[in-house]
Amino acid sequence: MSQTVQTSVMSMSDGQSESPVVLGLETRNIHAWFGKHHVLKDISLKFPEKTVTGLIGPSGCGKSTFIRLLNRMHEFIPGAAMAGQVLHDGHDIYSPEVDAAAIRLKVGMVFQKPNPFPAMNIRENVLSGIKLAHLKVADHDSIVERCLTRAGLWKEVKDRLTATGGSLSGGQQQRLCIARSLAVEPNVLLMDEPCSALDPGSTLRIEETIKELAEKIAVVIVTHNMQQAARVSDYCAFFLTDGGPGYLVEADATKKLFTNPGDTRTADYVQGKFG
């Protein structure tokens, strides 16, 4: 798949003032519903390449729904609906001619629970995305090594690539899942609480991996762990709900949000007073 790189200025179809195209992801006035239930209200955020953005907020405020909207996984839930735009490299991923599978190839996802494919061994797991999407790649071995190295797992598994994914520890499985998402070379990686089931050591390894990934691509990470958000992210967005739909309270550089937030609720949350 050839990646189209937009560097020109693109005019918005809704007649807004022209703004430079963000490489990576951008949402405009995103809303989400499950049936009649309005779960997410009016989120406009940018996730440019080479940044890590943390999404923080208490449970049930729509972070996971939001992240699933970003690579068109939202629509798998029966009754799901949305409004607004999600721009990937400047193109709306929800416009009718767009192939959702092609979007998911470019906007990868890592889930809360490690989910390596049980019927495949470690090597096959890493290459699974390439096989599933019929990508033509010459050198499989170098991809396996490169992705496992980027995911910080290569040293541990290089001598047993034919072992099953299930034989690894939880943290290793999660890094295998990250390696698997990297093999198809996404330019955005979404991570939905990727470390919540892991021990501190594995968490640290994954955070290092995230920082390395951010040298090339955009990473969006949902986390309940304030320290993790502070350690790993460049920017943070704080979501909240008052019982109704989740909304964005404030989004800013992580340092600013944690030391000098613009909203008292943010201050309370990052200091652990509620949530």
**Which residues are at the interface with other proteins (CB under 8 A)?**
14, 16-17, 19, 22, 26-29, 31, 33, 38, 41-42, 44-48, 51, 53, 72, 75, 80-84, 94-96, 99-100, 235, 237, 251-253
Q: Is the distance from CB of 180 to CB of 191 less than 8 angstroms?
A: no
Q: Is the distance from CB of 70 to CB of 110 less than 8 angstroms?
A: no
Q: Is the distance from CB of 244 to CB of 79 less than 8 angstroms?
A: no
Residue number, 15 or 200, with CB nearest to other proteins? 15
Q: Please report, as a single letter, which amino acid is at residue 94.
A: Y
Residue number, 45 or 179, with CB nearest to other proteins? 45
Residue number, 46 or 91, with CB nearest to other proteins? 46
Q: Please report, as a single letter, which amino acid is at residue 114.
A: P
Residue number, 14 or 159, with CB nearest to other proteins? 14
Nearest Cα to 229, choosing from 202, 213, 205, 253? 253
C-alpha span between 206 and 193 (Å, rounded)? 11
Radius of gyration of the chain (CA): 19
3-class secondary structure, 170: helix
Q: Is the distance from CB of 129 to CB of 181 less than 8 angstroms?
A: yes
Residue number, 82 or 267, with CB nearest to other proteins? 82
> In the complex, what is the shortest distance from the CB of residue 85 to other proteins, in angstroms, rounded to a whole number?
9
> In the complex, what is the shortest distance from the CB of residue 18 to other proteins, in angstroms, rounded to a whole number?
10
Residue number, 95 or 162, with CB nearest to other proteins? 95
> In the complex, what is the shortest distance from the CB of residue 52 to other proteins, in angstroms, rounded to a whole number?
11
Residue number, 96 or 272, with CB nearest to other proteins? 96
Residue number, 149 or 241, with CB nearest to other proteins? 241
| Phi and psi, residue 120, nearest 5° | -120, 150
> In the complex, what is the shortest distance from the CB of residue 151 to other proteins, in angstroms, rounded to a whole number?
26
Q: Which two tokens stand for residue 103?
A: 């979007």
Q: Which two tokens stand for residue 84?
A: 């607004």
Please list, in sequence order, all residues whose beta carbon lies within 8 angstroms of the beta carbon of residue 151, skipping any fewer than 6 positions away.
175, 176, 178, 179, 182, 209
> In the complex, what is the shortest distance from the CB of residue 160 to other proteins, in angstroms, rounded to a whole number?
26
| Phi and psi, residue 7, nearest 5° | -115, -10
C-alpha span between 107 and 162 (Å, rounded)? 28
> In the complex, what is the shortest distance from the CB of residue 40 to other proteins, in angstroms, rounded to a whole number?
11
> In the complex, what is the shortest distance from the CB of residue 157 to other proteins, in angstroms, rounded to a whole number?
26
> In the complex, what is the shortest distance from the CB of residue 145 to other proteins, in angstroms, rounded to a whole number?
32
